[in-house]
Amino acid sequence: MRVGHFSFVRLFLLLSLLVQRLPVQKQQQSSIPPWRYPDEGDDHQPRNAFAHVSNQMKGTCDFSTAPLNVSSSENDIVPLLGGGDAPLGDAPLNGDRPDERVQHCVQFTKGMEVLTFVCPKRNTEDYVGVEVRPMDCFETVRMPNGNSKKLSNVLKGVQLENRDTDLLSIRKVFIPPTIYRNVIFECTCDNSLTFWNNRMGARGIMRVHLRKNILFGCDFDHTVGEESLEDVTNALPVGGDATGGASADWSFWRNFGPTAEELAEKNKTAFSQFYTEGEVKDAKEKGIVCNVKITKREVYLGLVCPPGYEMYPSNCFERVLYKDSIVRMSELIKHHATFHVDSNRRMSFATFTLNRNENPAGFTCLCVRVDVPEAPPLQANFVYNNYESFGFHFGLLYWLVVLLLLIHTSSYNSMQFPVMRVVKASLWGQLLVWWLTTPVDGFTHTCDFNDELTLEFDDQQMANRERICTLKPDVLDKVVIKCGSEKNKYELLPNNCFEQVYTSKSMRNAQHLVQYLHGAAAIVKRKQNQYNNSRERRNYDDVFFRVPPNMDNERKAVYCLCQNKAKIRVRKKSGHIYDKDIFNTGIVEVVIPTLPQRIIGCDFTENTSPLFTKGYDVNFYKKVENNENEDDVICRVRATEGKFIGFKCPANYSIEPEECFLQGFNLSGKKEPLQTKVNLKELVMDHYNKVFYARVPDRIYQNMHFFCACVLEQKRLVAHFEFIATSGDGISMSEAGGMNVLQGRSAGTVATGMGFLLLLLSGVLYFML
């Protein structure tokens, strides 16, 4: 019995040791030290076989401070034993002894870095013969075989900059993460032609190792060049690459096919998705939807728009489209990120590192035609699928160990072995943690100055103070302000906040919200008392509204104040005592989300609607000829999965049915419930402002029509909505590209990731034990 117990523990420890040790072993087998993220701290320079390494910092090779000048005592001309002149090249002297007049600066990069090359000019006797080779360094670079090539032909997205001074030649280059093969190139600061007092200058060589990369993104301008890269690839094998390192041994179990790195080399692009000029041209009238799945922790993002197109948002990745709004990437990921956008706004890159199994919300960027902005765009949808499970990393070995554990332990009774009860408890703990970490949706954004952001005064406070509450809701989310109670006698400004709001940080000249933001709805303000009777109870009800979209390009925000006032006594130096009012002020800033396109729907208040896709002037359209009923206006729109729909009626009209979007009229004119056919979400039914909104579900299961109407006596303004069912191939239209922007709220995802596998394995082990 003890032997059996010992075997179980031994196998369990073996598995634990494998989990902890394998990543370290992979690094030890790598010939090149792994590239580190720039913000991880001090970088340890990779070991290399060169005799001298010049003074350098990350990304910079500065040969103006290295001993290249002819005055250096290290640069004495020493005759060779066999006679002849000293060699001027990199070749080692006397077999193993390296050339001491060559200074090396080595840089390793996977992209998203600016490299700098500094070489002194011919301004003193120490550098009379100095030259930069190639002369246009970085625009042209030297390959290991001695040939020179345009760096832009080797690497897509290179940007160059010269910052020469009177004393120095300074060349800078932005290295994009578009590296699909390991590449080495060089630039040289050559002072070997400077001679003085039996000494000669030295050469400084900047050698750059480009390490191949996987770029999650869409290249809509892919070209396969005819130029061969056989002479540019001379890099050492890298741990984790498909062609070498320990991880390659497990590629069969992970992928059952070519790795992403192998496909990148085959297709001659680092992009996960790419489209040729012909493919883009053929899709000019219908657009392209490029769906990108981000499957790694170390994330490199990229988007390239073809000529004649520009990115939207123009600083894509720094700002992205999310749920019909333009938001900062920092709102979606809570990690340091590096961004780069080219000057033509056609190419953008970003990089950051996620936590293990972290999957933020997806987002979208567009390439929009410059000449016809309303034409169907080239759309790049990004979703995260960063699931790392040790079962997949260790492949067959892991599953073999698990199988042995199951067979070994299933024959024992847990009542006889206390360790089994401990294992069961730990398994239940895993299940509990997995359940508790499932994301929960939240659609209400609150500034609570009563409890959370209290405005109470300190005992010794003598000056005004402010507390700022900034809310960044999505379209139709609810914004709430809690300001004051019977205990906290705070004042809300404007006193009819959300009916009126301030529109700038100066907090002056309040405006009506419905005039500042078209489509504002579900506004609840405080009932204002006259306070003629001091005993009358003051109103401290919460105020809130549903956030309308911002259809303008400029940033919009609205403001309200919550203020607490106190009176203090102040003594001047002269001894005079006077009363002074001080204020603790809570500032509510609500940033209005933007929509790149108008809401699918009907606006019966004006011909050109700033909010909806169709607009109708009632007084004009009732005169349209050949109308069966001159008093009827029919607006037909087709709903799109995951998008908003809506309509707006004139102020003097009523809405039928009153619960439109919960009920609707069918084509026979009969009222019927809609939930059984299409479950519309995020409903806003505002009879006061005569505006209704709803979000279409992510999948439509059947074709249907319904309509609602704005009614005034015998006049009817009909909003007719058409729903087309998703194709029955198991892929929703949103997944196949039917959406303009990624939609939906973040929620728990069922996938074969770490959490799901732990749940499955824990359940099996629990019942086996």
Q: Is the torsion defined by CA of 221, 222, 224, 225 positive or negative?
A: positive
The reported pLDDT for the residue numbered 36 is 34
Q: What is the mean pLDDT of residues 97-120?
A: 81
**Cα distance between residue 79 and residue 203, in whole Å:** 18
Strand locations in 288-413 (E): 288-294, 298-304, 309-312, 319-322, 325-328, 338-341, 347-353, 363-369, 378-384
Q: How far is CA 397 from CA 14, 559, 637, in A?
A: 11, 60, 57
Q: How far is CA 385 from CA 152, 319, 330, 564, 750, in A?
A: 32, 21, 19, 48, 11
Highest mean pLDDT among 183-187, 239-243, 369-373, 550-554: 183-187
For 599-723, CATH gives 2.60.40.2860
Q: Binning pLDDT at 50, 70 and 90, where does residue 8 land?
A: low
**pLDDT per residue over 458-488, tens digit each?**
888 888 889 889 998 888 788 999 998 888 8
**pLDDT per residue over 534-574, tens digit each?**
445 567 888 888 887 777 767 889 999 999 998 888 888 88
Q: Residue 667 belongs to what H/E stretch? A: none
Q: Look up residue 573 and give its DSSP letter.
A: T
**pLDDT per residue over 729-766, tens digit each?**
433 333 333 333 333 333 333 334 444 555 556 555 55
Token pair in block for residue 249? 């041994």
Q: Binning pLDDT at 50, 70 and 90, where does residue 676 land?
A: confident
The reported pLDDT for the residue numbered 343 is 81
Q: Binning pLDDT at 50, 70 and 90, where does residue 520 land?
A: confident
The reported pLDDT for the residue numbered 421 is 54
Give the SS3 label for residue 280: helix
For 57-74+100-210, CATH gives 2.60.40.2860
Q: How far is CA 688 from CA 489, 658, 684, in A?
A: 30, 12, 12
Taking alpha carbons only, the member of 325, 267, 347, 453 closest to residue 740 is 325
Instruction: Say whether pLDDT at 175 is over 70.
Output: yes
**Cα distance between residue 408 and residue 11, in whole Å:** 10
Higher pLDDT, 571 or 361: 361
Q: What is the mean pLDDT of residues 177-194?
A: 89
Lowest mean pLDDT among 23-32, 233-242, 443-452, 683-692: 23-32
Which residues, in sequence order, are CB contacts of 727 under 8 Å at separation 6+?
A: 733, 736
Strands 691-695, 159-162: pairing is unpaired
Contact 297, 289 (CB under 8 A): no
**Cα distance between residue 174 and residue 171, in whole Å:** 10
The CATH architecture one would assign to domain 215-224+260-384 is: Sandwich (2.60)
The reported pLDDT for the residue numbered 399 is 57
Residue 63's CB is within 10 A of a number of other CB atoms, namely 31
The reported pLDDT for the residue numbered 594 is 80
Which residues, in sequence order, are CB contacts of 631 under 8 Å at separation 6+?
A: 622, 714, 715, 716
**pLDDT per residue over 401-416, tens digit each?**
556 565 555 554 444 4
The reported pLDDT for the residue numbered 584 is 92
Q: What is the mean pLDDT of residues 510-528?
A: 77
Lowest mean pLDDT among 475-484, 625-634, 717-726, 731-740: 731-740
The reported pLDDT for the residue numbered 439 is 36
Higher pLDDT, 81 or 668: 668
Q: Binning pLDDT at 50, 70 and 90, where does residue 194 land?
A: confident
Residue 369's CB is within 10 A of a number of other CB atoms, namely 18
Q: How far is CA 685 from the centre of its chain?
A: 33
**Amino acid making up residue 134:** P
Taking alpha carbons only, the member of 361, 408, 411, 396 closest to residue 381 is 361
Q: Look up residue 753 and give its DSSP letter.
A: S
**Cα distance between residue 686 and residue 440, in whole Å:** 27
Q: How far is CA 481 from the centre of its chain?
A: 30
Q: Residue 600 belongs to what H/E stretch? A: strand 599-603
- Each as own residue / partner, the long-range contacts of residues 732-738 (CB below 8 Å, 24 or more positions apart, any chain) are 732/641, 732/698, 732/699, 733/640, 733/641, 733/699, 733/700, 734/641, 734/642, 734/698, 734/699, 735/291, 736/289, 737/289, 737/291, 737/379, 737/381, 738/640, 738/641
Query: 232 - beta bridge partners?
Result: none
The reported pLDDT for the residue numbered 536 is 52
Contact 321, 596 (CB under 8 A): yes
Q: Binning pLDDT at 50, 70 and 90, where does residue 622 land?
A: low
The reported pLDDT for the residue numbered 400 is 60
Share of the chain above pLDDT 70, in %: 66
Instruction: Say whether pLDDT at 418 is over 60.
Output: no
Average pLDDT value for the chain? 73
**pLDDT per residue over 430-454, tens digit each?**
444 444 333 333 468 889 998 888 8
Q: List, as one string, the DSSP characters of 332-353.
A: T--S--EEEE-TTSSEEEEEEE
**Amino acid making up residue 501:** V
Q: How far is CA 742 from CA 324, 681, 696, in A?
A: 8, 16, 13
* Alpha-carbon torsion, ordered 506, 511, 514, 515, to 10 deg: -100
Instruction: Say whether pLDDT at 49 is over 80.
Output: no
The reported pLDDT for the residue numbered 555 is 80
Higher pLDDT, 67 or 700: 700
| Triad 596, 597, 603: Cα angle to 5° | 140
Q: Is 651 exposed, middle or buried (0-12, 13-18, 19+ CB in 10 A)?
A: exposed
The reported pLDDT for the residue numbered 258 is 53
Alpha helices (H) along 206-356: 251-255, 260-267, 277-282
The reported pLDDT for the residue numbered 348 is 94
The reported pLDDT for the residue numbered 164 is 84
Residue found under tokens 């598995």: 15
Instruction: Say whether pLDDT at 586 is over 90.
Output: yes
Q: Look up residue 550 and give its DSSP letter.
A: B
Half-sphere exposure of 728 (CA within 13 A, CB side): 2
Share of the chain above pLDDT 90, in %: 22
Q: What is the mean pLDDT of residues 29-44?
A: 34
List the domain boundaries for the chain: 57-74+100-210, 215-224+260-384, 444-530+537-591, 599-723
The reported pLDDT for the residue numbered 701 is 83
Q: What is the mean pLDDT of residues 579-586?
A: 91
Helices (runs of H) and strands (runs of E) counted in the chain: 11, 45
**Cα distance between residue 454 and residue 275, in whole Å:** 55
Q: What is the mean pLDDT of residues 58-72?
A: 74
**Cα distance between residue 756 and residue 760, in whole Å:** 6
Q: What is the mean pLDDT of residues 511-536?
A: 68
Strand locations in 134-270 (E): 140-142, 148-150, 159-162, 168-175, 183-190, 195-196, 199-200, 203-210, 215-222
Interior/surface letters 69-83, b for 16+ CB within 10 angstroms, e for the rest: bbeeeebeeeeeeee
Taking alpha carbons only, the member of 446, 576, 587, 452 closest to residue 506 is 587
Higher pLDDT, 409 or 706: 706
CATH fold match for the domains 444-530+537-591 and 599-723: yes
For 444-530+537-591, CATH gives 2.60.40.2860
Residue 512's CB is within 10 A of a number of other CB atoms, namely 13
The reported pLDDT for the residue numbered 361 is 92
